[in-house]
Amino acid sequence: MIKFVDLEAQYSSIKNDIDNAIGKVLESTNFILGENVREFENEFASFCNEKYSVGVNSGTSALHLALLAKGVGKGDEVVTTANTFIATCEAISYAGAISRLIDIEPDTYNMDPKKLEKAVTARTKAIIPVHLYGQPANIKEIMEIAKKHNIAVIEDACQAHGAEHHGKKVPVSGIGCFSFYPGKNLGAYGEGGMIVSNDREFDEKLRAYRDHGQTKKNVHKYIGYNYRLEEVQAAILRVKLRHLAKWTDMRRKNALLYNEMLEGCDIATPVEKKYNKHVYHLYVVRAKNRQRLAEHLSSREIQTGVHYPTPIHLQEAYSHLGYKKGGFPVAEQYADEILSLPMFPELTEEQISHVSKSIRDFLK
Ligand SMILES: *Cc1c(COP(=O)(O)O)cnc(C)c1O
């Protein structure tokens, strides 16, 4: 059986360090906003080559608070793409704002900057480009448009820890939101998230928002939230962060092997832009008979996934936005064709070869 994501292989490789780190937190009985959260924030900010970083309880909370701290509220509009995980739009909804969706670029599956300007209105307060599957969106071009219209950019980097755009690690624009959901490239053993920025005032607001609006003990400047990252998760993430660069290299090596072994097949493999470093949270191909291919692979004990089978505008939860089928042709066509192959650092060359050979057999 080849799993889609194998978290066991990773745990067994770092078991002693993880168990020790958890044990120390239990012994300290300091579970909330202690040394591990503080140190992990510093370490993750340095990893991103940024100044500030605030730990929260999920990637969704990170996006929600980043929007609030940028002043996004009721009746404002936020532009994002039709091809993302629903949490991007949920965060916009939590802030009281409206999602304005645009279509994706055919080669990267990310926000198409050419479609961006037309979606900007007088009410647009922010743009959330999503670095989907681990490849940065075209932030350089998106920033030019954002600057011209004086709109905030908040990068949804929940799938892109350590990805690079024109030689700079994400976030490129100054604000990025990360998720530490267990299956993400840097995953907790529970929930977690982070907002990384280069803006001190913004960072201070976020610190208050995540902890009941407190600026000092018992001084509540805002109506905030209980969105705190837990010490146990931060202690685990500190251990795992030390391995992240190596795990990213392993993912990239696996992607290269897939590319080589699938070359010449009648399926589309990922395109990595020259100016990007893709971190392959997911290895997504496109095939005409996606469903049958997935069933064929399943019959050979190979797990696959689809990210995501329904674009946001065709989900019932977002039907009120008023978009119709046919509104975002690239995202809609791709939703029927995309298939995510097994991808995790510990995947072996033998396993990749078995998956690739099974795909070739199907296409014959
Ligand atoms: C995982 C993810 C989120 C949400 O993160 P959680 O930690 O699960 O709340 C948001 N956006 C994208 C693109 C994601 O992949």
Q: From the alpha carbon of 281, which atom of ligand 1 is closest?
A: 15
Inter-CA distances, 125 with 103, 120, 121, 147, 156, Å: 19, 9, 9, 12, 16
Q: From the alpha carbon of 179, which atom of ligand 1 is closest?
A: 7
- Per-residue pLDDT 10s for the chain (364 aa) are 999 999 999 999 999 999 999 999 999 999 999 999 999 999 999 999 999 999 999 999 999 999 999 999 999 999 999 999 999 999 999 999 999 999 999 999 999 999 999 999 999 999 999 999 999 999 999 999 999 999 999 999 999 999 999 999 999 999 999 999 999 999 999 999 999 999 999 999 999 999 999 999 999 999 999 999 999 999 999 999 999 999 999 999 999 999 999 999 999 999 999 999 999 999 999 999 999 999 999 999 999 999 999 999 999 999 999 999 999 999 999 999 999 999 999 999 999 999 999 999 999 9
CB 301: neighbour CB atoms within 10 A?
A: 11
Ligand 1: residues within 6 Å at CB? 58-60, 84-85, 87-88, 130, 156, 158-159, 179, 181, 193
Up-side HSE of residue 9: CA atoms within 13 Å toward CB?
A: 13
Predicted pLDDT at 72 = 98
Q: From the alpha carbon of 181, which atom of ligand 1 is closest?
A: 7
Q: From the alpha carbon of 192, which atom of ligand 1 is closest?
A: 7
Ligand 1 centre and the CA of 193: distance in Å?
Answer: 9
Predicted pLDDT at 274 = 98
Ligand 1 centre and the CA of 328: distance in Å?
Answer: 22
> Residue 150: CB partners within 8 Å, gap ≥ 6?
none
Ligand 1 centre and the CA of 87: distance in Å?
Answer: 6
Ligand 1 centre and the CA of 24: distance in Å?
Answer: 29
- Helix or strand run (H / E) with residue 71: none
Up-side HSE of residue 234: CA atoms within 13 Å toward CB?
A: 28
Looking up tokens 């999602």 gives: 99
Inter-CA distances, 113 with 88, 176, 205, 269, 329, Å: 18, 18, 30, 22, 16
Cβ–Cβ < 8 Å for 45, 51: yes
User: What span, in angstroms and rounded, lies between the C-alpha atoms of 63 and 259?
Assistant: 33
> Residue 148: CB partners within 8 Å, gap ≥ 6?
none
Predicted pLDDT at 257 = 98
Inter-CA distances, 165 with 31, 223, 308, 311, Å: 36, 36, 24, 25
3-state helix, strand, coil in the chain (%, to 5): 45, 20, 40
**Boundaries of every domain in the chain:** 7-102+111-241, 244-363
Nearest to 193 by CA among 3, 310, 60: 60
Mutate to test the pocket of ligand 1, among 5, 131, 159 (most ligand atoms within 8 A of CB): 159
Mutate to test the pocket of ligand 1, among 61, 131, 181, 281 (most ligand atoms within 8 A of CB): 181
Inter-CA distances, 246 with 63, 179, 243, 351, Å: 27, 19, 6, 20
Q: From the alpha carbon of 184, which atom of ligand 1 is closest?
A: 1
- Helix or strand run (H / E) with residue 80: strand 77-81
User: What span, in angstroms and rounded, lies between the C-alpha atoms of 44 and 222?
Assistant: 26
Predicted pLDDT at 117 = 96
Collapsing DSSP states into helix, strand and coil, what is residue 78?
strand
Mutate to test the pocket of ligand 1, among 5, 60, 109 (most ligand atoms within 8 A of CB): 60
Looking up tokens 């003990």 gives: 217
Give pLDDT tens digits for 139-162: 999 999 999 999 999 999 999 999
User: What span, in angstroms and rounded, lies between the C-alpha atoms of 75 and 236?
Assistant: 39
Ligand 1 centre and the CA of 86: distance in Å?
Answer: 8
Ligand 1 centre and the CA of 264: distance in Å?
Answer: 33
Nearest to 44 by CA among 208, 152, 203, 224: 203
Predicted pLDDT at 99 = 98
Q: From the alpha carbon of 159, which atom of ligand 1 is closest?
A: 15
Q: Tell me if 7-102+111-241 shares its fold with 244-363.
A: no
Q: Is the CATH code 3.30.499.10 the one for domain 7-102+111-241?
A: no
Ligand 1 centre and the CA of 1: distance in Å?
Answer: 27
Is the bond into 171 cis (omega within 30 degrees of 0)?
A: yes
Ligand 1 centre and the CA of 85: distance in Å?
Answer: 7
Is the bond into 308 cis (omega within 30 degrees of 0)?
A: yes
End-to-end CA distance of the chain: 23
CATH hierarchy code of domain 244-363: 3.90.1150.10
